Structures are given as C-alpha cells and as structure tokens.
Structure 1
Amino acid sequence: MKNRHICRMLILVICIVLGGCSAALPEKTTTPTILKVMYYDESIFYQEYGDLFITKYPNIEVQVVSTQNIDNDPEIDKATALAKLIEKEQPDVLWLDPEQYEQYAADGLLMELQTLIQKEHYDIEGIYPTIVDLIKEKSAGKLYGLSPRFYGNALFYNADLFAEYGIDPPHNQMTWKEILNLAKRFPVDGGDEDRVYGLGMQSYITSDIQTDTLAGLMARTQGMSTVNYSTMKVTVNTDSWKDIWKTAFEATESKAIYTPEEPFWGGSTEEFYKNQPFIMGRVAMVVDSADLLQHFKEVRDRVKEFKPFELGIVTGPVDPSDPSTSRDVELYEIFSIRAGSPNAEAAWDFIKYVNGDDYARVKSKTLNGNMLSRMGYYKDYVASGIEAFYKLKPKPVNYGSRGKVPTGFYSTFEELMKRELERVKNKEITVDEALGNVEAEGQTLLDQAQATSP
C-alpha cells in the first residue's frame, strides 16, 4: 500500500507540474515534432505500429520509451518503477494495461479524448462497441484511451466432417459441457493416426495433462478460483469444482478428444502443419485464437497433403450463468495521452491512426492471435463466421487478487492437486474424496505460506 501511495503521489506531481489534464490541443504546426511513446520493446513497437505511423506522418519523429527492464524484473515494485520512468522520460503516449489505465484515469493523469473525438468527427462508431464501453467502465464513464486490438478465442469447426457424419454443427454461446457432448457424437473407432476426433486441444497439451488442462479451461471460463481471495480459504470441495472435474474425466475417458503423446517442439513449417490434426482434417472442432486463420492461409502452399474444407467459426465457450460474456476476450493494451504533454497534438495523431481505418486496412491482411478493435476489415473471413470474435462482451479477470497469495504456495498446491487427481485416474479414490483431501491439505499449505511470508 505504501508503494502504491508513493506511485500515485509521484505521478500526481508530474501532472500538476505539466499543467493539468485539459484536452485542449496546441495549434497545428509544420515544425518537426518529437513524439515519445511508451511501449514494452522498441523493435516490436515499430513492427506493430511505428513503421506504419511514421510513413503516414513523416513530420513526426518517434522515440520509444521502453518498459522492458521494469516488466522483466521480478524484484522491483513495478508501479513505483513505472512512475519514476514517466517522471524521468516524460512520454507523450502512455501504453497501459487495463488496471494501470483505471488507476491513472482515477488520479487525473490522462487527457480526456471525447472532446478531440467530437472536434474532429473521428469515427468511433466503427470500433468494437464493447471495447469502448469496457474502457469507459474503468474511467467513470469517460474516455481517456483507445485500444487498437484485443485477444479472443473462438470455436472453429470442420463443416465437412459434421455433414459427413450427419451431426448438427456447433452454434454460438455453447458451454464447455455442450461442446464436449457434441464431440462425443463422433465415432472413436480406427487407429490413432487416421481416426477422426470430435475435439482437439492445443499442440503443446499432451495426453498426460489433458484432464488437468481441460478442467482448468472450464474453471477459467466460469471464473472459478482454487482460493477465495477475500477469506484466504482454499475452496475446491464444492459442487461446481466437482462437476468440472467429473466432466473433464468423462471427456478424457470418452476418447473423443485428441491430444498428442509428445508436444511439437520444433521442425519445419511443413512438419508443424502435419502435426495439427484440425488443419489436416482429422479433428472436428478446436478452440483457438485468430492465429488459426493465418495458418489456413499458409498451409495451402506448404503441405501437399492438405485437403481444403469448409471452415466454420462460432463463439468460444461461455459461462452457463452469463452466456453473453467471455473471460477469454481480453483487452491488454490501451494507448492514452499523458496529461500535460507538450506534444498532445502528435500524440492524438498517433492514437487516432492506430485505431483508425488506414491502420486496420493494412493489419487485416495478417492475423497473429489478436483481433482489430476497428471492425469490418476481415472481409476474407466473413463467410467462415469471423464475426463470432465480436459477439461476446469481455468479462475482465482480476489477476491482481492472485497477488494476495504468497508466491510459493501455488507450486506446492499444484503438486498436491496432481497427486490426488492421479489417484482418481487410477480408480483409487473418487473425485469427491480427492477434492476433500485437496481442500483440507491445501488450507494447511496456505496457512503455512502466509505465516512464513515476509
């Protein structure tokens, strides 16, 4: 708490010294401008944003203020270190995660953008509305930043396989349980190398951790945690956790899910694609990011054995209690103008460009796991259903609460969980018994970790 207070005071002083948080811009000038942009890494910045921006605005010289040393150092207080970096370097554009944005906006450290948007008639309607709403929710209804992209996943499916086996294809807003039940409708006969699977997992998820991973994915979708951060109690011996683990074990035992015996650690591009059974037409469904669409563009020229099929996309798995939202739609970067910046005009030029049509038009040609916040530019994928990425509202996950738990607890707790669930796999005990043991012993581990934590 002390460090957080120091952080706020440092940045408040900066804001006051530099003239407050007005949205007024200086008069336009043709004099070359030096624009300081805060970002994780300089080379990544230019790859993602900078090269395109300076081509559009050759009169603006960009200098990157890197946060890499702060982000990579586990020993320092990141909030205080970031405040000191801002004080020293005076960046005009701040690169913030949602929690930082919320705090900086509350402390009056960011320039409000709505006046600029209205003055220039900037088209904000073309930006994914729920992203704009989420940003506003974090800043008392006002807009102090914009985010050019977000992360999301979707359920991809092979429409040809569903037609071949006479099975109705998936639809939007399915729960994990519904997806797994649909996967079980595909036959399980045939050899491992040529049979069809109902559902595939990511290539790094091997068969020995399939059940654990699946349970973890379902728990995340439903916003469940092994620790109640308010009471600091281990809470796994509940009906919800029992249902998740029973569902995961049943799915694994059904043999409807494909997971490799060994992860794919490297090789040629051709070998990579041959190790992706969904791409090669042997898996009916997979939950993945937009990366998969890029792979589909490339595989046609890389693998002779690839046989094109009709690709369908629907929303990723949802929480049955709140099916219009998703915890797998994540906003992880927001660009804002530092209050009092002497280069606010250039800073606004940058923010409106990377959130605008010209930037989206170029970046829509490649997909790297992130989705553009500006809509309407993935025209090549409309037939497949790419709009599924834009159907669910983001439901933020508060990772900060996890920091209340002592660092060393989770490694020992995971070993405990692994031990007890292995006994379930071996039919030595039931899921109910395993979770009862985990909760009791896990609480002892948590109490000990808290007692010895500095």
Structure 2
Amino acid sequence: MTERKSKVRKWLLTTLALTLLIPLLAACNTNKGDNSDNRRTLRIGTMYGSKQDEYWFRQQTTDLFEFSHSNIDIEIVPAIDYNEMQFENQGKGPQKQPDPLEKVKAIMTGANPVDVMILDMNVLRQLVDENLLKNLEPLLKEDEIDTSEFVPTVIEGIKDQGNGQLYALTPSFMPSALYYNKKLFAEKGVTPPRDNMSWDDVFNLARQMKSGSGKDSVYGFTFNAWGSGENYYDVQTFAAPLELKMFDDKAETMTVNNPNWKSVWETVTKLYKDHVMPSQQDMQAIYEQPQKEGEPYNPFQGRLFLNGKVAMTIGNYGLISEIEQMNANADKLKMQKLEWEVVTSPFHSAKPGVGGEIFLNQLAGINAKAANPDDAWEFVKFMNGKEWAKFKSRSTYEMPSRIEFVKPREGLNFNIAAFTKMKPAPMQRSLKDEALYREKPNLNLVFELGSRYFMEVTQGKKSVDEALKEWETKGNDLLQKIKTNPTGNIEGVFDDVYGGGKPGH
C-alpha cells in the first residue's frame, strides 16, 4: 500500500510540474511547424538500458522535449540491452562482457543509425577520432550560442576529449571539492584552506590539524567523508591525474617500480602511519564504540567528517545534501551542527589545474550519419538550453553546466565556485585498459596484489622500495600466468603477501 501511495504521489508531482511548465515550454518551442502530417522520429542511442528502465530515462531526459515538440516521436535505442545480457546466456557460465565501444559504434553505423548518442566520457575521444560524431562548433556559431555561458571546466573537459573541438554537450556534471570544518580550524588557530591549493599544501595543513589520540583523535584529512582507512582505491583516485600505469599496454610487463609510484606510496603511507589520516586500526576503534543506552540510532555514525572527527575531506556536490540533513536533525541525534566551507580540489604540482573526480554526465553528441540531423541538433540544443538548465538546477547531487544557474541552494552561503574551477582528472582506465580487462578479467588480481603490498607498507612490514620491487617481480610472474590463463583460477597469487593463503580467483 505504501509503495502504491508513493507511485501516486510521484505521478501527481510529475503532472503538476508539467502543468506549471506548459507556458514555459510553449514559449521555448522551436518547432518549425507543428503539422501532425509532418511527424518525424528522432532515434536516441544510450550506452546501456532496457525497456524496463526506459521510462526513467525518458522522464529525466526526453519527455519535456517531446512534449514541446509535438510532431517528433522519440525512440530510445540502448547499445547494450540489460535484458539480453541477463537472459541470453542462461546456464552457460561466466561470459565475456560486451565491448561498450563496439556496441555504440554498431548502433551508430548500422542500417538504421541513431541520430543522437548519449555518451560516457571514456568513449568520446574514440568516436571523435573515428569521425563518428558531428562537430557542434559550426552549429553553435550559427545559432549564436555562447559557450562562455557554460562552466569552463565542463567545456574544457569535453574539448580535451575532442582534440580541442566540441563534439558533445552536457546539461549537468558531478564535481568534487575540498570540504573543511570551519570550527576546527578556528579552535586550532590555523589558517583555513583556500582555493588553488596543491596536495602538498593540503597535507601540510592536515598535519597541523591532527590532534588527540584514541577515541579523542581529530584527523587532518581523509580522501572521502567516511574515512575508509588505508583504502587502496583512494590511493588510485589520488594518483589518477598523474596517469600512472600498473603494467604496459599489452599487460605483459609491470611498470610500478619507479620514482613516480614511489612518491605516491611514500606520501600516502606516511600520512596513515602518522595518523594524520585514520588507519584501519583507528577506524576499527571508532566503529567499536558502544552505543549509549537511550541514545537514538545515528545514520551518520562512522561518517568522520560529519561527526567533526576530520578537518578536511574530499567530497562530491551531493555531500551538501547530507550535511543539510544532518544539521537539520542535529538536536534529535544529539550531534553538533557542522560549520563547513569548500575550496577547490587540490592538484598535483606536475598537473596544475587538474582536480579530482569530476563526472560529465549525459554527454549528447550528433551521429555523423544521422538520418535526422536537424531534429538531433534541436534536441541537443534544447537539452543544453537555459530553460532546461533552470529546471535541472534543482538537483541535489549534480550541478547545471550553465554558469547563471550555478548558485547555492536557498538558505545556504558557501563558495560554490570551488566546484567549477578544476579540470576533470583522466579516467583511471582508458578504453584500451577496459578492453584488456574484458579479455583478461584476471588482471584484477594485479590490482589486488598491489593493494596487499600497500597494506604491508602501512603496517610497517615492508618499506615502499621493498613493496614496489616485490609487486613488480610477483606481478610480472602473474601477468605471464594471466597471458595463458586469462579467466580461470590461478593458485598461490597472494602467498606470502598480506592476508595471503587465499585462492587467487
């Protein structure tokens, strides 16, 4: 019954929103005649999807366009259909995962190609290099659309994947920034973070902010709002702008025993050893603290930054909503409200201006072989227009790409520009990497091997030099085994390594 009420409520809200938008849509309708005899179909490709989730995609992406362009019918064409993946290989055991790029190219170059392609960032460059997308710059110029009205990091990030040209646009993006606890810095008398800080600057601040011990510890920094404790994925995220590789392009030779990898490992492991960042042991002590009798359940338990246990953390735009929710219920939860601010994500000195994780969502490009290029451009233009940006600016987890709608939510006052200044870091895995991992899924064992050696360093069992050398040696042996056995079980991978003795697959 509750589920039914929820569905009814969502339907009523959607209906109300559409009702309120009718005058707006009528005003921005760009149809060249709404003659019903001139009906056209616009085929929109998505990288993933199915008939079951098509409604959600339409609601989020195409319904308003179709409503305001009454003589255009939208057809959704997923490159990879979840249903086919789920049911076509029943009983045949593990199957090789499809290549997203090849699937996308298939629906763009087949007998009935899609007109518009909604893309992930990691396939954009390859499609541009193979001349499968239409350059949007002449269309933007013709319609006098000024790209300076968009957030620079969005435009520059897309251009970086298009050899300096725009082959796609996106109405929104998911940025990250450096959050800090204003109260902790004031109490310590330490100058708080500022925009355009390097990682060295941030880590130096973090050391100044470390205080206390045991359950009374306050840590200087975490790579995420949870803390995690010696999470090797955080190390990979930290190193992403440097584009360090574990092995060569053929996955035959390790490439980790070098000064660049050494610098990253030494920097991060020292922060854990000095308890500037919480170690696994620190995290365990926090989670093992018993709940006091009569104390209400706290959904933010263990969120170190939200609980005032960390001075600075990296967080995405959606973290603001969690902070708002916690502060609104602080009295009920018997917590202190968080006094916070944000500055730009830190950068590596070798890569100035390149921040952390910034996801460019819903990249829309026009197929170079589109049968309906005019309507395709109308859709891309509408999707990235001011009216749509105003509607989407209400999101609590992503930001609009148009600058004029990048504003703090009502009742809040913070440095929102911090989310817009840094260029996105390169994808941690390139398309070539993804193809290798699909062909040889056992390559994931190389990452796991590195993670275990990293733990041996943080726990003082090995030096960074020793760990990287052993990772290289054992990794090279593992790569040769993977070459002949890319998918099957490989025994003894983790023998004599942290947590060893477990099966290799």
What residue number does 1:375 align with? 403
- Alignment correspondent of 1:174: 197
- Alignment partner of 1:436 is 2:463: no
8 Å CA contact 2:195, 2:418 repeated in 1: yes
Residues 129-180 of structure 1: CA deviation (Å, up to 9, x unaligned): 3433443454454433212233332111112221121011112333334323
Alignment match, 2:363: 334
The structure-2 alpha-carbon separation of the partners of 1:220 and 1:409, relative to structure 1 and needing over 3 Å to count, comes to same
Secondary structure of 2:147 counterpart: coil
Aligned to 1:82: 104
Which deviations, in whole Å up to 9, do the C-alpha atoms of 1:109-135 show, x marking residues without a partner? 333333332332224321123433443
> Which of 413, 426, 431 in structure 2 is aligned with 1:400?
431
1:34 aligns with 2:41: yes
User: Equivalent residue for 1:202?
Assistant: 224
Residue aligning to 1:4: none
1:325 and 2:354 matched = yes
Shift of the 336–429 alpha-carbon distance from structure 1 to 2, 3 Å rule, reads: closer
Contact kept, 8 Å, 2:219 with 2:309, in 1: the verdict is yes
**How far off is 1:246 after superposition?**
2.3
Q: For residue 304 of structure 2, what is the aligned residue in structure 1?
A: 277
Aligned counterparts of 2:200 and 2:83: Cα–Cα separation in 1? 37
2:313 aligned counterpart, secondary structure: strand
Q: 1:46 is matched with which residue: 50, 58, 66?
A: 58
CA distance in 1, matches of 2:238, 2:83: 29
Aligned residue identity for 2:449: L
Give the partner amino acid of 1:76.
Answer: P
| Contact map agreement 1:327 1:396 (CA 8 A) in 2 | no
Match of 1:291 among 315, 318, 324: 318
Say whether the 8 Å CA contact 2:120–2:362 is kept in structure 1.
yes
Give the letter for the 2:264 counterpart.
Answer: I
How far 1:309 sits from its partner (Å)? 4.2
Q: Give runs of ≥4 in structure 1 deviating > 6 Å.
A: none
Q: What residue is the counterpart of 1:385 in the other structure?
A: 415
Within the candidate set 117, 124, 134, 1:101 is matched to: 124
Offset of residue 387 of structure 1: 1.0
- Larger mean Cα displacement after TM superposition, 414-423 or 246-255: 414-423
Match of 1:234 among 254, 260, 270: 254
Q: 1:324 deviation in Å?
A: 1.6
Letter in 2 for 1:326: G
8 Å Cα contact 1:206-1:263 kept in structure 2? no
CA distance in 2, matches of 1:401, 1:107: 15
Which segment is superposed worse, 320-329 or 408-417? 408-417
Aligned equivalents of 2:171 and 2:474: distance in 1?
A: 45
Question: Unaligned regions of 5+ residues in structure 1, if any?
Answer: 1-25
TM-score by length of 1: 0.80
Cα displacement (A) at 1:189: 1.6
Q: Which residue of 2 aligns with 1:158?
A: 181
Q: Identify if the C-alpha distance between structure 1 residues 219 and 136 changes in structure 2 by more than 3 Å, giving closer, same or farther.
A: closer
Identity over aligned pairs, percent: 26
Aligned counterparts of 1:335 and 1:95: Cα–Cα separation in 2: 5
Deviates more, 1:121-130 or 1:148-157: 121-130
CA distance in 2, matches of 1:78, 1:138: 17
- Relative to structure 1, the CA distance from residue 410 to residue 106 in structure 2 (aligned partners, 3 Å threshold; closer, same or farther) is closer
CA-based RMSD of the aligned residues comes to: 3.4
TM-score by length of 2: 0.73
Q: Is the CA contact 1:173–1:317 (under 8 Å) kept in the aligned structure 2?
A: yes
Unaligned runs of 5+ in 2: 1-29, 86-95, 289-295, 488-505
CA distance in 2, matches of 1:154, 1:51: 32
Superposed displacement of residue 318, structure 1: 1.1
Question: Aligned residue for 1:355?
Answer: 384
Number of aligned residue pairs:
421
Going from structure 1 to structure 2, the CA distance change for 1:372 and 1:263 (only over 3 Å counts) comes to farther
CA distance in 2 between counterparts of 1:107 and 1:213 reads: 32
**Do the aligned partners of residues 345 and 161 (structure 1) sit closer, same or farther apart at CA in structure 2, a change above 3 Å counting?**
same
Q: Secondary structure at the match of 1:336?
A: strand
How far apart, in 1, do the equivalents of 2:128 and 2:444 lie? 36
Partners of 2:181 and 2:311 within 8 A in 1: yes
Please state if 1:244 is matched with 2:264. yes
Higher mean Cα deviation, 436-445 or 386-395? 386-395
- Closer/same/farther in 2, CA of residues 374 and 92 from structure 1, 3 Å limit: same
Contact 2:178–2:345 (8 Å) recurs in 1: yes
Task: State the shift of 1:356 in Å.
Answer: 1.8
Distance between the aligned counterparts of 1:72 and 1:246, measured in 2? 46
Distance in 2 of aligned mates of 1:132 and 1:70: 31
Structure 1 residue 64 and structure 2 residue 95: aligned?
A: no
